Structure 1
Amino acid sequence: MPYKNVVAQYEPLEDKGEFKLRKTVFLGYTDVAAGGIRALLGINMKKEFLTIDIPELGDVKLAVESTEKLDPRDQPYAPFQIWNLKYELFSVILVNTKLKADKCHYVCSKIMDLCTRWCVDKLVVLSALRLDVSMDNISDIYETVINDMPLTKCPELSGDTRMNDPFLSTLIQMVQVEYIPTCFLLIPAHRACLGEARETDGSKQVIKTFQQTINTATKISFDQEFSNNLIYKGDNDQKDSNSVSMIYS
């Protein structure tokens, strides 16, 4: 069997030598367009699985689900799950739930723990979000790095660019404190409609741009049609946060 299914608790996370993060880790979460998470869920390569329960999140629901029949070698999606790409040097962290602002630090702290524990060389964060970008610096995708060298040739986003994303703001602060080498792949986007990805809300373009950018840099293969057909369920109780930050704040 080419797949491993492993379930671990948040505290303690047992390490029996069977599962470790690879040196390069891609992180997708449920951003405003559900773009990063849907893009990475479309990775079309053999995987090993680690599902981690974070008790502080409570009984959260999946934000993105598939209508396709689950392959018996796969593990069902979970709010916090890690994939190792078998025979490759990449891992993927998937935050597949719409986090409330007061819960972001639990997830970000866990990500930092995992990255430091297994000495990750590069954390690549995918985020589609509302950005106040100068008309002189318009691009489909940007890359901003902290403590690291760029993964791509995408233009850099200005360090004083304002954003409204509690998870990303929290993560930026933590990678600076923990000195984790991090690349942020950022796409200007609007709120996605519920259901499959669409042209009209821009979510199809977000998924395509993330997948093409990563494939060019790493040769990781994707099934774009699968990503587009994933169902975004959102969270009807989720409200926009007033937390505003800057990329280097």
Structure 2
Amino acid sequence: MSYRPAPKKPTPWLVPLSETVIIGYTDVAAAGSRALLGLRGAKEVLHFEIPNIPKAVPCCWTEPSKKTPSQPPRRGKAPAEKPLAPFMFTLQLFQYHSVIHLLGCLSCRYSLIIINTHLNAGAGHAVAKYLVDAFSDSFVRKVFVLSALRLDHLERRNHQELFENTWNGMCPGTEYPELPKYMKIFDPLLCDMIQMFLIEGIPFSVISLPGHRADSGHATEMDGSYEVISAIQNCVRDFTELSFSLQTSAELEYRADGGEVEDMVAMIYV
């Protein structure tokens, strides 16, 4: 999989998006972003910059290839990890087809946007606004947002469930129940996206499930991130027929530098 910057253009979006967009971001477990980074068959992924967030740092990295026993260790500095970009974008054709270049994107069924960085509470609005402009430029008709959430007050029997909430006339992509109305969401970026998409009238869905703060390193069963990433990939596969590698996602090196969200003003009821 190769990575290259998308060509620079003043405003606001440089790549035509498909009618259906799927967004994965660095949620509490970094599950949405890591799940989509496991997309199979991707030959090329574009990364882009958001003008108001020039110093975004990626939080998931690919590890260098492991040496085989036949390869003697080299002297000097060990190879560095390869960073993924903070903001990434892929175009996906029908099942078993690979990511394509810009000019062929009009025949794509899905566009995947991956937000691979920790954002502070104040940066979410800029990201949401940037996405809204992109959707407007490309005449996007449906948006799915994937998220693992801290749902501390969720009834015990629901802790393994997935949920889907829809707005602005969006037809559900799954048969999951809605997240209960009494739940509060403490996720600044998700709150900003929900509010901005609602105001702009974009049909969108949030597919969510309970998650806990992930540890740095690979996804594991111990911190629950492995299970959550697997559940998200299975969900997206079922309603899109896209193919994902759980192993690829689990082996990404995650940097949990963002810490707990201290600004609890960024709160919304579903």
TM more than 0.5: yes
- Structure 1 residue 187, shift from structure 2 partner: 1.1
**1:72 maps to what in 2?**
none
SS at match of 2:84: coil
Report the counterpart of residue 54 of structure 1 in structure 2.
50
3-state SS of 1:56 partner: coil
Contact 1:128 1:186 in 2 (8 A): yes
- Quick check: 1:67 aligned with 2:96? no
> Could you say which residue in structure 1 is the equivalent of 2:10?
11
Correspondence for 2:98: none
User: Judging changes above 3 Å, is the alpha-carbon distance between structure 1 residues 78 and 186 closer, same or farther for their aligned structure 2 residues?
Assistant: same
- Partner SS, residue 43 of structure 1: coil
Code of the residue aligned with 2:217 in structure 1: it is: G
Residues 1:99 and 2:119 are matched in the alignment: yes
- For 1:80, give the aligned amino acid: F
| SS of equivalent residue, structure 1 residue 207 | helix
Check whether the contact 1:63–1:233 (CA below 8 A) recurs between aligned residues: yes
Match of 1:45 in 2: 41
TM-score normalized with structure 1 length: 0.87
3-state DSSP of counterpart to 1:192: coil
1:193 paired residue number: 215
State the distance in 2 between where 1:7 and 1:113 align: 17
1:156 aligns with: 178
Unaligned runs of 5+ in 2: 66-81, 95-107
- Paired residue for 2:166? 145
Q: Number of residue pairs matched?
A: 239
1:114-163 superposed Cα distances (whole Å, 9 cap, x missing partner): 11211111111011110132346554211111120100111111233111
Residue 101 of structure 2 corresponds to none
Given the alignment, which residue of 13, 16, 24 partners 1:20? 16
The amino acid across from 2:149 in the alignment is L
Structure-1 separation of matches of 2:261 and 2:156: 28
- The one-letter code sitting in structure 1 at the alignment partner of 2:186 is N
- 2:92 alignment partner AA: L
- CA distance, structure 2, for counterparts of residue 158 and residue 108 of structure 1: 24
Partners of 2:156 and 2:251 lie apart in 1 by: 33
Aligned partners of 2:218 and 2:250 also within 8 Å: yes
What root-mean-square deviation, in Å, do the aligned CA atoms of Structure 1 and Structure 2 show?
2.3
**Aligned mates of 2:3, 2:223 — CA distance in 1:** 36
2:89 is aligned, of 82, 88, 91, to 82
CA contact (8 A) 2:3 2:47 kept: no
Query: Deviating runs (4+, > 2 A) in structure 1?
Result: 2-6, 8-15, 45-51, 134-140, 236-241, 243-248
Asked if structure 1 preserves the Cα contact closer than 8 Å seen for 2:212 and 2:224, the reply is yes
Output the amino acid matched with 2:62.
S
Using the alignment, how far apart are the partners of 1:10 and 1:225 within structure 2?
36
Aligned counterparts of 1:109 and 1:101: Cα–Cα separation in 2 = 14
Is 1:31 the counterpart of 2:47 in the alignment? no
Change (3 A) 1:14 1:39: closer
Q: Aligned partners of 2:125, 2:13: CA distance in 1, in Å?
A: 22
Distance 2:44 2:93 in 1: 7
2:11 maps to amino acid: P
The range that moved more, 93-102 or 5-14, is: 5-14
Secondary structure of the 2:174 match is: coil
AA of the residue aligned to 2:33: I
Structure 1 pair 68–85 and aligned structure 2 pair: CA distance change class (3 A): farther
Identity %: 33
* Structure 1 residues without counterparts, runs of 5 or longer: 70-74
8 A contact 2:121–2:266 mirrored in 1: no
